[in-house]
A and B are shown apart, each in its own frame.
Chain A
Amino acid sequence: MKHYSAFSLLRHALNGNESWPRAWRSPEPKPSYDVIIVGGGGHGLATAYYLAANHGVTNVAVIERSYIGSGNVGRNTTIVRSNYMIDGNTQFFEFSLKLWETLSHTLNFNVMLSQRGQIVMAHGPVGLDVLARRGNIMRLNGIDAELLDRGEVMKLLPYLDYSSDARFPIWGALLQRRAGTARHDAVAWGYARAADGLGVDIIENCEVQGFIIEDGKVSGVETSRGRILAGKTGVAVAGHSSHVAKMAGLKLPIESHLLQAFVTEPIKPLVDHVLSFGAELFYISQSDKGGLVFGGHIDGFNSYTQRGQLPKVQTVAECAVALMPCISRLRLLRHWAGIQDMTPDGSPFICRTAVSNLYLNGGWCYQGFKATPASGWCFAHTIAHDEEHELNRCFSLDRFEKGRELDEFGIGNWTYKQ
């Protein structure tokens, strides 16, 4: 792997940028590997990278049905934060944010982390109390959090609706300064390139169609490019976890739902932070190209179609305008729906499964992107040692049986049951 540096940038610029090497190889699959990771998204690639970098397991293949960056890692709203307050989540997501802070150096690839701060609004005194409690718990765990009153919010965000008849008055907010955004596809490319540099085979356009299982033990996968054997197999295909797990005879506490995201036409810098609305699920930031990037709630029924429903577009637009009336005349440039795993408690799985040598990483609900580094770190540990890391011990499949749910936000797949 050629090291990227200011010098290499300059040298290639002088050459007209025509001799950049491929960022990763395109190998033919070998007949067998020590570990196969199914799914070449952010989590799968990060897992492969940490297997090689942390555990010295380099005979690894990442098998991706399409091309790298084609899935949810290239389709999210790019928010990175650690404002959690349930034990298990808190430590995991803070560890993830710490990995984010050094990720560009670790991978020798600029993931364009921008710690612009995330601000969650409170629209009444109770909402502010709730945020104060969250902020206090974060601070007790050594995570940065600041409670802002209405005046401080007005100073930071002068463009919100502060009128006397605002439907959702701004009462205050919780600010995490270290939160922000990162360039999503750079994360996929950076991990792919770094993993490849350590000897991991990234096999694109290769669909896993089944598992080879004997005596309750997985020994490889059947793919569209033939049979590939593996000592251990990790599944990181969030969105399609149920679909893939079914091939191994597993039924999961997961439903696939549609989550829509939106980008407006580009405008001059306006939104300097990541904002979250306190009255509904709505979050917004501004991309480097100037488009406002935002999203809302899931569509509300299980689907794999990647086609969002229009009424949700209206709801999300209403949230946007309630918070920021000044953007009411902006046009949407793009809008799309991604498929995501929703779990009953809104928290993920990184764990062993009932099938030996088969490991699961999924159930990411709304929070997969920010978790990418820690998810890969912990999943690699779980696979390498056949045992959960301290940070992902809570993310087991049996937590519902044991009454140890992690219902951080009270949002699971069953919005329709509430």
Chain B
Amino acid sequence: MLRITCPFCGERDYTEFRYGGDASKRRPEHGSQDMKAWHDHVFVFDNPKGPHTEYWQHVLGCRQWLVLERNTATAEVGPSRAARERPR
């Protein structure tokens, strides 16, 4: 069982969370007319075999979004932090 540490609630089963995709992506600015940038943002994935930084939402807990480090090759779970504290 994948266990995720929520920065607010502590370590829980992953079934309490909802996956939210790659957190290293940057969304194009609102109003951007650059369709290629939007296409890449929505449809193209880095999909690494190894370390991955990703969003999860603690839907069955505090409902906060968090950013988690997880290794997609080994299932090793690293530290997490609140998504709103993500360095910009």
Whether A416 and B1, one on each chain, are in contact in the complex, defined by CB atoms closer than 8 angstroms, is no
* A interface residue count range (under 10 / 10 to 19 / 20 to 34 / 35 or more): 20 to 34
Whether A242 and B72, one on each chain, are in contact in the complex, defined by CB atoms closer than 8 angstroms, is no
Whether B75 and A417, one on each chain, are in contact in the complex, defined by CB atoms closer than 8 angstroms, is no
Assembled-state Cα–Cα distance A413/B43 (Å): 10
Residues of B within 8 A of A304 (CB): 49, 72-73
Residues of B within 8 A of A256 (CB): 47, 49, 72
Residues of B within 8 A of A413 (CB): 45
Q: A251 contacts the other chain (Cβ, under 8 Å)?
A: yes
Residues of A within 8 A of B19 (CB): 300-301, 416
Residues of A within 8 A of B46 (CB): 242, 251
Q: What are the interface flags for B32-60 relative to A under an 8 Å C-beta threshold, 1 for contact and 0 otherwise?
A: 00011001101111111100101000000
Whether A303 and B75, one on each chain, are in contact in the complex, defined by CB atoms closer than 8 angstroms, is yes
Q: What are the interface flags for A237-250 relative to B under an 8 Å C-beta threshold, 1 for contact and 0 otherwise?
A: 00010110000000
Residues of B within 8 A of A344 (CB): 42-43
Identify the stretch in A59-67, A124-132, A192-200, A307-315 within 8 Å (CB) of chain B at 4 or more residues.
Answer: A307-315
Interface of A with B (CB < 8 Å)?
A: 240, 242-243, 251-256, 300-305, 307, 309-311, 344, 400-401, 413-414, 416-417
Assembled-state Cα–Cα distance A361/B13 (Å): 36
Residues of A within 8 A of B36 (CB): 401
Whether B72 and A251, one on each chain, are in contact in the complex, defined by CB atoms closer than 8 angstroms, is no
Whether A302 and B43, one on each chain, are in contact in the complex, defined by CB atoms closer than 8 angstroms, is no
Whether B47 and A255, one on each chain, are in contact in the complex, defined by CB atoms closer than 8 angstroms, is yes
Interface positions, chain B 6-40, Cβ under 8 Å from A, are 13-15, 18-21, 35-36, 39-40
18 residue pairs A–B, Cβ–Cβ below 8 Å: A251-B40, A252-B44, A252-B45, A253-B43, A255-B47, A256-B47, A256-B72, A302-B72, A303-B72, A304-B49, A304-B72, A304-B73, A305-B74, A307-B75, A309-B1, A311-B14, A414-B21, A416-B20
How far, in Å, is A192 (CB) from chain B's closest CB? Answer: 26
Residues of B within 8 A of A303 (CB): 72, 75
Residues of B within 8 A of A309 (CB): 1-2, 14
Residues of B within 8 A of A255 (CB): 45, 47
Number of cross-chain contacts by CB at 8 Å:
66
Whether B72 and A401, one on each chain, are in contact in the complex, defined by CB atoms closer than 8 angstroms, is no
How far, in Å, is B71 (CB) from chain A's closest CB? Answer: 9
How far, in Å, is B11 (CB) from chain A's closest CB? Answer: 16
Whether B47 and A252, one on each chain, are in contact in the complex, defined by CB atoms closer than 8 angstroms, is yes
Whether B73 and A302, one on each chain, are in contact in the complex, defined by CB atoms closer than 8 angstroms, is no
Query: Of A344, A416, A417, which is in contact with the most chain B CB atoms at under 10 Å from its CB?
Result: A416
Whether A401 and B45, one on each chain, are in contact in the complex, defined by CB atoms closer than 8 angstroms, is no
Having A242-B48, A301-B19, A305-B75, one finds 8 other A-B pairs with CB under 8 Å, namely A240-B49, A252-B45, A252-B47, A256-B49, A311-B1, A400-B42, A414-B21, A417-B20
Residues of B within 8 A of A310 (CB): 1
Q: When the two chains form the complex, which single residue of A243, A300, A301, A414 contacts B49, counting CB atoms closer than 8 Å? A: A243
Residues of A within 8 A of B74 (CB): 305
Residues of A within 8 A of B14 (CB): 309, 311
Assembled-state Cα–Cα distance A385/B82 (Å): 52
Which B residue's beta carbon lies closest to that of A413? B45
Assembled-state Cα–Cα distance A414/B49 (Å): 18
Which B residue's beta carbon lies closest to that of A343? B43
Whether B45 and A253, one on each chain, are in contact in the complex, defined by CB atoms closer than 8 angstroms, is yes
